[in-house]
Structure 1
Amino acid sequence: MSEFSIIDGHCDSLLDFVNGKRTLLAPSEGGHWDTSRARSAGVALQFLAAFIETRYKPSLATQRGLELIDGARRFIAGHGDQVFQVLEKEDLRGIPDPSRIGIILSVEGGEILGDQLFMLDTIYHLGVRALGITWNQRNALADGVGEKTQSRLTNLGQQVILRMNELGMLIDVSHLNEAGFWHVLELSQDPIAATHSCAKALCDHPRNLTDQQLRALSKHGGVVGVNFYPSFLTQTGQAELKDVVRHICHIAEVAGVETVSLGSDFDGITEVPKGLEHVGDFGSLVDELLKAGFSTQEVDKICSGNFMRLLSKVLK
């Protein structure tokens, strides 16, 4: 096990569990993430995303989202010896737990709310503590990066941001278009996160953040979790472990080491960097960060400290 605790800001492994493909307990079942390899790699807290597939949008998005949340609750309740859910600030005191992985339940895409603000309170009461405002498409809150628009948040989207601050939910701007990103920063009193994004200066992809956005996140006390998807890391779409480190170094240089963390996107990406093929490889990433010249204190911030600081400010 790594001497550093890991907080991973995003994985999509929940879909495999809900669809009956894997138990998420053993490497032999395949996939990028399971509790066995995660524990061995020092993962202390995992953001587990409920990603609503495009085929369910818009009419069945709420139903599918609730189905995924129910699946996450079943997974957590059924494996209390291996995982526990983080619901409030006090729960952060239990991290790291030597035998169990903390779980933050997130929803990837505000379409779960339909066009009703009360649904935000509903999913909060079901245990959701982070919400991605959009995926790549437009919903009733805002436009995703796939729309290629410069539309700001809708009236509902603005209400959602303010209510998330009141409830103590982490606002996730990965996938949100740039105009929406700036609008969120205008509105939110709490720091926000881009849980699984990279640096646009190194790879010009719509999903990545400009240096201006990175600096604004830093000024606001936010965090960006570097995504492991090769197409976000290099223009060629082929990547190695060193390319993940390159993005981490760039963000640390531009926005400060307190702004950068990890957001693997495991089981939500079709390709992975060579040398970082699954959750068990986090130790190799730690080694490369140390070789790149980061101090042990800085590596600790990147691996877990920055997300812990953010969550301690947002959760109630």
Structure 2
Amino acid sequence: MDKCFIVDGHCDSIGHLSNQGRSVSVPNEGGHWDIPRAKSADISLQFMAAFIETKFKPLMATIRGFELIETIRDFVEDNSDQLFLVEKKSDLSRIPDPTKIGVLLSVEGGEIVGENLFLLDIIYRLGVRSLGLTWNHRNALGDGVWEHETKSRLTKLGQEAVQRMNQLGMLIDVSHLNENGFWHVLELSKYPIAATHSCAYSLCPNPRNLTDDQLRALAKNKGIVGVNFYPGFLKESGPVTRKDVVRHISYIADIAGVETVGFGSDFDGIDETPDGLENVSDFSYLLDDLTKAGFTSKEIKQISGRNFMRVLSDVLK
């Protein structure tokens, strides 16, 4: 098979840099992701999330979010010989770059804007190009998946946020949003949306996963789901291996079309991984597994990176 480039829709490695002192630049510090291992795996574009921890919410969420954004920007600048920031549609033409990994700055949790929509424009100016409207809890935009009993749609501010993100050219991430909020986003968004790190509910009934109806709706929206590598989202019980990741990819491709699925590893944001997929350098084995599962070379290229690139090309300005 011709060489693929990989787009990974979610990792939390910047939290390790901020909290644990890992440089994320050398492989002997542990963790799931660092620059050398990512380059060895042909990662061409990495979504890097600024995850705002619960202890900072609500009062310190904006400050913590800005701190993490600055950490990501500093990380890219300090490693500018190996990384570059993706901010415009024209930046996508640089992917794949044989020497550098593109970094797309995302924020996991709309708490960063508090109740002030103008902060969306500020984080956009700082380079943020993807925002998860919620984490698992409620905020001023909507309800997360742990609030599913409320069956709430987006708040008025959440609706305005979707419309403003469309205008700015920001990818709307619904991975942690409750189901009614998901449907509300689809009613409002004029552009494709993403569940950057989720799996199929029919295979593992976790509230973080997407139902068949949601998967089909994403396909109609020309959006994408990045399959998450967390064992708890892949299988209800028992050992979890790379084959379970392939099982979810295959299922989503069957339900919603191969153009609707990609990778969303959640590396460095999960405390365990499937056997045989312990860190970013193991992506090559996953591609081999997709070949063995019957995917064509063209389909694997779509899954590994081109689907996310298409969505970003539709969304970014």
* TM-score, with length taken from structure 1: 0.99
Q: Which amino acid counterpart does residue 234 of structure 2 have in structure 1?
A: L
| Counterpart in the other structure of 2:183 | 182
Superposed, 1:79-158 pairs within 5 Å as: 79-148=79-148, 149-158=150-159
1:27-77 deviation per Cα after TM superposition (whole angstroms, max 9, x unaligned):
101100001000000000000000000000001000000000010010011
Q: Which amino acid counterpart does residue 13 of structure 2 have in structure 1?
A: S
- List 4+ stretches of structure 1 deviating above 3 A: none
Q: Whole-Å Cα distance in 2 between the matches of residues 6 and 88 of structure 1?
A: 19
Contact 1:227 1:262 in 2 (8 A): yes
**Are 1:304 and 2:305 counterparts?**
yes
Q: Which amino acid counterpart does residue 110 of structure 2 have in structure 1?
A: G
Superposed, 1:10-29 pairs within 5 Å as: 10-29=10-29
Q: Whole-Å Cα distance in 2 between the matches of residues 94 and 290 of structure 1?
A: 27
Q: Whole-Å Cα distance in 2 between the matches of residues 238 and 187 of structure 1?
A: 40
Q: Which amino acid counterpart does residue 220 of structure 2 have in structure 1?
A: K
Q: Which amino acid counterpart does residue 312 of structure 1 have in structure 2?
A: S
Q: Which amino acid counterpart does residue 44 of structure 1 have in structure 2?
A: S
Q: Which amino acid counterpart does residue 223 of structure 2 have in structure 1?
A: G
1:106 CA drift (Å): 0.1
1:180-231 deviation per Cα after TM superposition (whole angstroms, max 9, x unaligned):
0000000000000000000000000000000000000000000000000000
Q: Whole-Å Cα distance in 2 between the matches of residues 269 and 238 of structure 1?
A: 16
Q: Whole-Å Cα distance in 1 between the matches of residues 122 and 73 of structure 2?
A: 14
1:237 CA drift (Å): 6.0
Q: Whole-Å Cα distance in 2 between the matches of residues 239 and 54 of structure 1?
A: 28
Check 1:67–1:95 CA distance in 2 against 1; reply closer, same or farther (3 A cut). Answer: same
Superposed, 1:1-316 pairs within 5 Å as: 3-148=3-148, 149-236=150-237, 238-316=239-317
Q: Whole-Å Cα distance in 2 between the matches of residues 187 and 232 of structure 1?
A: 28
1:20 CA drift (Å): 4.9
Partner of 1:104, secondary structure, is strand
Q: Which amino acid counterpart does residue 168 of structure 2 have in structure 1?
A: L
Check 1:237–1:224 CA distance in 2 against 1; reply closer, same or farther (3 A cut). Answer: farther
Contact 1:226 1:264 in 2 (8 A): yes
Q: Whole-Å Cα distance in 2 between the matches of residues 23 and 96 of structure 1?
A: 24
Q: Whole-Å Cα distance in 1 between the matches of residues 238 and 173 of structure 2?
A: 25
Q: In terms of mean alpha carbon deviation, does 149-158 or 233-242 score higher?
A: 233-242
1:19 CA drift (Å): 2.3
1:238 CA drift (Å): 3.6
Q: Which amino acid counterpart does residue 63 of structure 2 have in structure 1?
A: Q
Contact 1:231 1:237 in 2 (8 A): no
Q: Whole-Å Cα distance in 1 between the matches of residues 8 and 163 of structure 2?
A: 26
Partner of 1:195, secondary structure, is strand
1:89 CA drift (Å): 0.2
1:123-153 deviation per Cα after TM superposition (whole angstroms, max 9, x unaligned):
0000000000000000000000011221000
Unaligned runs of 5+ in 1: none
RMSD over aligned Cα, in angstroms?
0.8
